[in-house]
């Protein structure tokens, strides 16, 4: 299994990066991205440390660890610039905290994210046709989240993304041990989103595209 959206105690998760990776390994993951929340205030501190540790953990635990970042509440006009800076600092996966209905997120974040050609637009809330079409064109993956409150709009997101031929991924937004992927969780989330159980394999192929790019 591949999960490209997780958090550690470097932002608001409760696990150290090493514990998160080992637990992911025990859950049957083959690849995981550590994507702590970043903005101008902390990206130069967080990303290089995760990047350094990712290599150690990959070699130690036999699971491919990608250093990443989730751009969170970054002003939309700055998302492209910050995304580029994150990659320069060592991020192999760039996620943008989308306009989830669970939180007040700056309007225009979804559009700015797919314009910036980041990797994953996380929990986008009310995904528009315009954003989905541009995501398809720029090969930005759209997230179906297993996080219950963010996932309220999963069905809507899936329908619009598929209509626009945008690629979907499934991620956990893990903050604590109970959030890791399980067969039961995957089945429920896909069913609630109106997706067949077989579609999980397609979503994992889309995640693998990102993994291979960061390898």
Given a contact cutoff of 8 angstroms between Cβ atoms, the answer to whether 127 and 156 are in contact is: yes
Q: How many CB atoms lie within 10 A of CB 135?
A: 30
Q: Domain span at residue 14?
A: 2-214
The alpha carbons of the chain give a radius of gyration, in whole angstroms, of 15
The total number of structural domains in the chain stands at: 1
pLDDT at 215: 73
CA pair distance 162, 164, nearest whole angstrom:
5
pLDDT at 214: 72
pLDDT at 211: 97
User: Averaged in consecutive runs of 10 residues, what is the pLDDT profile of the chain (215 residues)?
Assistant: 98 97 97 98 98 96 98 98 98 98 97 97 98 98 96 98 98 96 96 96 98 85
H helices, E strands: number in the chain: 8, 8
- Beta-carbon contacts of 192 under 8 Å, excluding residues fewer than 6 positions away, are 151, 154, 155
pLDDT at 163: 97
**Domain at 166, CATH number:** 3.20.20.140
């Amino acid at each position: 299994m591949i999960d490209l959206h997780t958090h550690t105690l470097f932002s608001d998760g409760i696990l150290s990066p090493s514990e998160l990776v080992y637990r992911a390994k025990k859950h049957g993951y083959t690849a995981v991205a550590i994507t702590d929340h970043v903005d101008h205030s902390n990206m130069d501190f967080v990303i290089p440390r995760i990047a350094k540790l990712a290599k150690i953990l990959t070699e130690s635990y036999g699971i491919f660890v990608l250093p990443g970042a989730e751009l969170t509440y970054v002003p939309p006009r700055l998302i492209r610039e910050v995304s580029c800076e994150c990659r320069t600092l060592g991020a192999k996966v760039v996620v943008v905290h989308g306009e989830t209905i669970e939180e007040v997120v700056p309007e225009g974040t979804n559009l700015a994210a797919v314009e910036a050609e980041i990797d994953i637009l996380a929990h986008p809330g009310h995904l528009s046709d315009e954003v989905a079409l541009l995501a398809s064109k720029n090969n930005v993956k759209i997230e179906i989240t297993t996080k219950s409150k963010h996932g309220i709009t999963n069905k809507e997101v899936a329908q619009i993304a598929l209509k626009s031929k945008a690629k979907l991924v499934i991620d956990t937004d893990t903050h604590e041990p109970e959030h890791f992927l399980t067969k039961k969780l995957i089945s429920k989330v896909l069913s609630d989103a109106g997706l067949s159980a077989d579609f999980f394999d397609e979503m994992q192929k889309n995640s693998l595209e990102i993994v291979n790019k960061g390898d």
